[in-house]
Amino acid sequence: MAFIMNGCEECESHGCKDYINRGTSICSLSQFVQQKMVSGLINANPIVYERKERQVQSAPIDIDQYADEPIDQQEIFDHIRDIKDPEHPYSLEELKVVTEDSIEVNDKQSYVRVTFTPTVEHCSMATVIGLCLRVKLMRSLPSRYKVDVRVAPGTHATEAAVHKQLNDKERVAAALENPNLSGMVDKCLAPTFA
C-alpha cells in the first residue's frame, strides 16, 4: 500500500522500528488517515442501501441455559452491521461493505471469516475498516475463536497488503497502541441510536 510503505521520521521513537524494517509503518498509516480526513473524501458519493430488518432469534424453552450456544452467520452479522464507515455517516451494512452472505462461521472449529467489499477499488480506508471488523469481533466473541478478515477478491487495488496487515497479530496490536488509530476505531465502533 502506498500510504504505509514509508515510516514517519519519529517511527523509531514511537516503537514502529519493526514495522519500518518490514517496510510498513503504523505511524504513516495514522498520518495518512489524518491527512485524508482533512483533505477530502475518497468516495464522495457512495451508494447507500436499505438496512435489513433485524431477525430476533428465540431459544427453545427446554434448552440447557448453561450449554454453549453455537455462533452462526446471523449473530456475527449482528455484531458488525452497525460499525460506522470511517469516511461517511453510514454503517458498513448500509454501504454493503459487509453482508450476511460474506461471513463464514465454523463453530466446531471456532473459526470466523469476514470478507468485506470496499466501496471503491482504491479505498484508502480499507485497512481501517478491516481493523474495525477485527477489533469488534475480538471484543464480541469468545477468545477461542480465530478471526480472519479479508477483502473480497478483486475489489481492492492492494488486497494482498491489506490481508497481510489485518491478519498479523503484531501489526494489529501496534495499530491499537497508536492513539490516533485506536481513537478512530473506537469512533467507528461507538453505538448509534438511530
The domain in which residue 138 lies consists of: 71-189
In a domain, 65, yes or no: no
Asked whether the whole model's pTM tops 0.75, one would answer no
Q: How confident is the model at residue 172, as a pLDDT? A: 93
Cell numbers placing 74: 446471523
pLDDT in tens, 115-140: 999 988 888 899 999 999 999 999 99
The CATH number covering residue 167 comes to 3.30.300.130
- Under 8 Å between Cβ of 66 and 41: no
In a domain, 13, yes or no: no
Q: How confident is the model at residue 69, as a pLDDT? A: 79
Mean pLDDT of the chain: 79
In a domain, 157, yes or no: yes
In a domain, 38, yes or no: no
In a domain, 75, yes or no: yes
Q: How confident is the model at residue 39, as a pLDDT? A: 47
* Domain total in the chain: 1
Gap between the Cα atoms of 163 and 114, Å rounded: 12
pLDDT at residue 97 is higher than 70: yes
In a domain, 42, yes or no: no
**116 contact partners, CB below 8 Å, separation of at least 6:** 92, 97, 98, 102, 126, 129, 130, 133, 149, 150, 151, 152
pLDDT in tens, 3-28: 333 344 444 444 444 443 344 445 44
In a domain, 25, yes or no: no
Cell numbers placing 71: 455462533
In a domain, 164, yes or no: yes
